[in-house]
């Protein structure tokens, strides 16, 4: 049987519970334990797939095609493991299961209630991943903030699990905020005291308190928190602001968060952590040798969380290239034929992001045309790839009104069309082509060079696809379908061999990029951007080149 660690949050949201949970998991993993993390979200949506990115940030897709919370992305990037549908559960999913069972008559005439029926279903799912011996430790992050009405059943489930399991098999970590009051020049512990009291009123007493703080916690403050919150002083952990989220595991190691957890779980023998590679990665990240400017074009660029996995993939790829990646947000709505050169000036690469709907679409197409014609490294993901096809059809094949069926259902040339199986679907939730699918790569292409393989698997989230009726015309004009699904022939990768780096993919490589294994497409895109930048420098300053010779 696995041991269970629950992570709750208090005082305010956005304290970075996911990062703390992932960091703890990383430390335990680095000491040789088999660890997984799951997240329980208290909202009624069955999954975040139907949520606007402005509401909830990026929707992360797992191998098995679950549309999940973006924290699962952090778990995968930190731990280099795959999560699944079982790792993200919402109130909506819990109620759906219970209501379906009620309709089947499974409750034999009983009144179905929050306690015990909803809490039983929460408990069943909380314990599920620890059942088959695959993991030593299961970490469960409870979304929301303690005291919220909607998180009550989850806290109650944790209370019951604590009561049911042997004491050494389960513990609760509570993450809070210790604000600094400038006027008083003091760190304040009262909000933490209140939040622990709230949690205690709900029947759960935290074993460890992790304090987010802008200033170091003095021994005195630690003792005060410990005393008023009824934990041992060593169980008060300082989580100060880090320059990168990837440093948080090292901060937590210094604070002995993992050792305190293991002690409470009655695990007394464990090896020293092996964090060699992790530290090397951080060194490369913190001390880059050069930099590139990458333009990111998307609909939600004001919101960092909307493209979380893409931004993290750039960090992984930058580190391996020993190069800082400055991501420049480009609003496509304001790009026109006249100003495109000016808008994209100074960029060493252009990434057109995934997305849905019409807003800013013409600007994206104009930017892609510029990148294609000017040798600017281009990388299109999902909608970005689809728009690269539209651009090529319009400006190279001369199909002036070509478009994606998604944007214009009346277009005479739907070079991007709705997938056949999507045509019968009416429900929006969980019905796209989701999850991992194989892709066969054509020999001798850029894609082969990037992956070093002819067979890959990548994750998807889309309803539209390249229309194979146009394949021959595309190939003849120099846009090559270099990756295809082996069963359906669906075009997964397009590339332009006449260009130094022009590639579009129907799938989402950002979803599989981790610290230990950065996504090859991002690594090569940054490499191409570096080369482009060096070339630009030498054009600007020919002396540089001759000096190099």
- Residues with catalytic function: 382, 508, 510
Q: Provide the minimum distance between the beta carbon of 419 and ligand GLN in the complex, in angstroms, as a whole number.
A: 8
| Residue 541 DSSP class | -
Q: Is 149 annotated as a binding residue?
A: yes
Instruction: Answer yes or no: is 364 a known binding residue.
Output: no
Using CB under 6 A, which of 130, 354, 483, 520 touches ligand GLN? Answer: 354
**Residue 365 within binding range of ligand GLN, rule CB under 6 A:** no
Cα distances (Å, whole numbers) of residue 494 to 175, 365, 380, 445, 483 = 46, 16, 9, 10, 7
CB of 459 to ligand GLN, least distance (A): 10
Interface region with ligand GLN, contact rule CB under 6 A, candidates 321-329, 349-357, 436-444, 526-534:
349-357
**Paired strand residues for 456:** 439
Q: Which among 261-269, 354-362, 439-447, 496-504 is the span making contact with ligand GLN, rule CB under 6 A?
A: 354-362
Q: Is 421 annotated as ligand-binding?
A: no
Q: Is residue 464 involved in binding ligand GLN (CB under 6 A)? A: yes
In terms of CB distance, is 327 or 382 closer to ligand GLN?
382
Residue 386 annotated as lining a ligand binding site:
yes
17 marked ligand binding residue: yes
For residue 237, say whether it is annotated as part of any ligand binding site.
no
Query: What six digits make up the tokens of 340?
Result: 């495109």
Spatial neighbors of 385 by CB under 8 A, at least 6 apart, are 493, 494, 504, 505, 506
Is residue 13 marked as binding? Answer: yes
The span from the CA of 333 to the CA of 454, in Å, is: 38
C-beta of 55 vs 342, nearer to ligand GLN: 55
- Quick one: DSSP state of residue 191? H
Confirm or reject binding of residue 364 to ligand GLN (CB under 6 A).
Answer: no
| Distance of closest approach, residue 81 Cβ to ligand GLN, in angstroms | 24
Residue 461 touching ligand GLN (CB under 6 A) = yes
Any known ligand binding at 57? no
Site string for ligand GLN, 157-196 (x = CB under 6 A): ----------------------------------------
533 is in an annotated binding site: no
Binding piece for ligand GLN, criterion CB under 6 A, among 30-38, 172-180, 348-356, 474-482 = 348-356
Which residues are CB-contacts of 204 (< 8 A; sequence separation ≥ 6)?
A: 8, 155, 158, 159, 162, 172
- Determine whether the annotation assigns residue 406 to a binding site: yes
Segment interacting with ligand GLN, rule: CB under 6 A, options 249-257, 350-358, 439-447, 474-482: 350-358
Distance in angstroms (rounded) separating the CA atoms of residues 39 and 19: 12
Q: Does 462 bind ligand GLN (CB under 6 A)?
A: yes
The length of the chain in residues reads 549
CB of 37 to ligand GLN, least distance (A): 25
Question: In terms of CB distance, is 251 or 356 closer to ligand GLN?
Answer: 356
Min CB(481)–ligand GLN separation in Å: 16
382 interacts with ligand GLN by CB under 6 A: yes
CB of 417 to ligand GLN, least distance (A): 10
451 belongs to the binding site for ligand GLN (CB under 6 A): no
* Residue 355 within binding range of ligand GLN, rule CB under 6 A: yes
Of 205, 463, 471, 514, the one binding ligand GLN (CB under 6 A) is 463
What is the distance between the alpha carbons of residues 418 and 508, in angstroms, rounded to a whole number?
18
Smallest gap from Cβ 344 to ligand GLN, in A, equals 21
Tokens of 475: 């190939």
The token duo for 327 is: 């991501």
Per-position b or e across 446-478, b if 16+ CB within 10 A of its CB = bbbebbeeeebebbbbbbbbbbeebbebbeeee
The residue (of 248 and 434) whose beta carbon lies closer to ligand GLN is 434
Least distance between ligand GLN and beta carbon 358 (Å) = 10
CB 474 within 8 A of CB 391: no
CA 544 to chain CA centroid, Å, is: 40
Rounded to whole angstroms, how far apart are CA atoms 110 and 106? 9
242 is known to lie in a ligand binding site: yes
406 scored as a contact of ligand GLN (CB under 6 A)? yes
Nearer to ligand GLN, 262 or 383 (CB): 383
Q: Does 361 bind ligand GLN (CB under 6 A)?
A: no
* Shorter beta-carbon distance to ligand GLN: residue 49 or 354: 354
- Residue corresponding to tokens 């969380």: 305
3-class SS of residue 518: coil
Please work out the total of residues on this chain that contact ligand GLN, with binding judged by CB under 6 A. Answer: 10
* Cβ-based burial of 427 (10 A; exposed 0-12, middle 13-18, buried ≥19): exposed
Q: Which is nearer to ligand GLN, 94 or 511 (CB)?
A: 511
Burial class (CB in 10 A: 0-12, 13-18, 19+), 167: exposed
Contact 365, 396 (CB under 8 A): no
Question: What does the block give as tokens for 101?
Answer: 């069972």
Identify which of residues 31 and 461 has a Cβ nearer to ligand GLN in the complex. Answer: 461
Q: Describe the strand order of the beta sheet including 378-381 as a list of residue ranges.
A: 323-330, 290-297, 349-352, 378-381, 502-505, 491-495, 480-484, 433-441, 455-462
If binding is defined by CB under 6 A, does position 65 make contact with ligand GLN? no
Ordered strands of the 236-240 beta sheet: 88-90, 35-41, 137-142, 3-9, 170-177, 208-213, 236-240
Residue 54 annotated as part of some ligand binding site: yes
Compute CA 384 distance to the chain's CA centroid, rounded to the nearest angstrom. Answer: 18
Bridge partners for 329 per DSSP: 296
| Residue 396 beta carbon to ligand GLN: minimum distance, rounded to whole angstroms | 22
Residue 67 or 202 having the CB closest to ligand GLN? 67
- Residues at the binding site for UTP are 13, 188-193, 224
- Residues at the binding site for ATP are 14-19, 71, 242
- Write out the residues near ligand GLN by the rule CB under 6 A: 354-356, 382-383, 406, 461-464
């Amino acid at each position: 049987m696995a041991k269970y660690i629950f992570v709750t949050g208090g005082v305010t949201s956005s304290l970075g519970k996911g990062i703390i949970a992932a960091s703890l998991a990383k430390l335990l993993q680095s000491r040789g334990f088999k660890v997984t993390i799951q997240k329980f979200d208290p909202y009624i949506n069955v999954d975040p797939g139907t949520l606007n990115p402005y509401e909830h940030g990026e929707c992360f897709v797992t191998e098995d095609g679950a549309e999940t919370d973006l924290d699962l992305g952090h778990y995968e990037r930190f731990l280099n493991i795959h999560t699944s549908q079982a790792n993200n559960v919402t109130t909506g999913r819990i109620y759906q299961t219970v209501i379906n069972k009620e309709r089947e008559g499974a409750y034999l005439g009983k009144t179905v209630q929050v306690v015990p029926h909803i809490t039983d279903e929460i408990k069943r799912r909380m314990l599920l991943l620890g059942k088959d011996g695959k993991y030593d430790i299961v970490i469960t992050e409870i979304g929301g903030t303690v005291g919220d009405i909607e998180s009550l059943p989850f806290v109650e489930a944790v209370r019951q699990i604590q009561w049911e399991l042997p004491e050494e098999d389960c513990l609760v970590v509570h993450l809070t905020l210790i604000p600094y009051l400038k006027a008083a020049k003091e760190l304040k512990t009262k909000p933490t005291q209140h939040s622990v009291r709230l949690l205690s009123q709900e029947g759960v007493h935290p074993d460890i308190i992790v304090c987010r703080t802008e200033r170091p916690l003095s021994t005195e403050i630690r003792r005060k928190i410990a005393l008023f919150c009824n934990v041992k002083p060593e169980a008060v952990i300082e989580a100060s602001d880090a320059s990168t989220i990837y440093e948080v595991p090292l901060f937590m190691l210094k604070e002995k968060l993992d050792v305190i957890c293991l002690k409470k779980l009655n695990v007394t023998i464990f090896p020293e952590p092996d964090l060699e590679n992790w530290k090397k990665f951080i060194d490369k990240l913190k001390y880059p040798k050069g930099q590139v400017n990458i333009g990111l074009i998307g609909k939600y660029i004001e919101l960092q969380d909307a493209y979380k996995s893409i931004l993290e993939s750039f960090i992984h790829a930058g580190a391996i290239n020993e190069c800082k990646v400055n991501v420049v947000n480009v609003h496509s709505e304001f790009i026109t034929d006249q100003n495109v050169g000016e808008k994209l000036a100074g960029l060493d690469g252009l990434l057109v992001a995934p997305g849905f709907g019409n807003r800013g679409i013409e600007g994206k197409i104009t930017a892609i045309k510029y990148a294609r014609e000017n040798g600017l490294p281009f990388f299109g993901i999902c909608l970005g790839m689809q728009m690269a096809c539209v651009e090529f059809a319009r400006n190279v094949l001369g199909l002036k009104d070509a478009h994606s069926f998604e944007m214009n259902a009346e277009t005479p040339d739907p070079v991007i069309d709705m997938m056949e199986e999507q045509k019968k679907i009416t429900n929006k939730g969980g019905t796209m082509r989701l999850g991992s699918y194989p892709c066969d790569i054509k020999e001798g292409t850029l894609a082969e060079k990037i992956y070093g393989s002819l067979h890959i698997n990548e994750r998807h989230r889309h309803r539209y696809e390249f229309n194979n009726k146009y394949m021959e015309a595309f190939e003849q004009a120099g846009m090559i379908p270099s990756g295809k699904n082996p069963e359906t022939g669906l075009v997964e990768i397009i590339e332009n061999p006449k260009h130094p780096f022009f590639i579009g993919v129907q799938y989402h490589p950002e979803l599989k990029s981790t610290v230990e294994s950065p996504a090859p497409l991002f690594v090569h895109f940054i490499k191409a951007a570096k080369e482009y930048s060096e070339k630009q420098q030498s054009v600007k300053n020919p002396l540089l080149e001759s000096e190099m010779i």
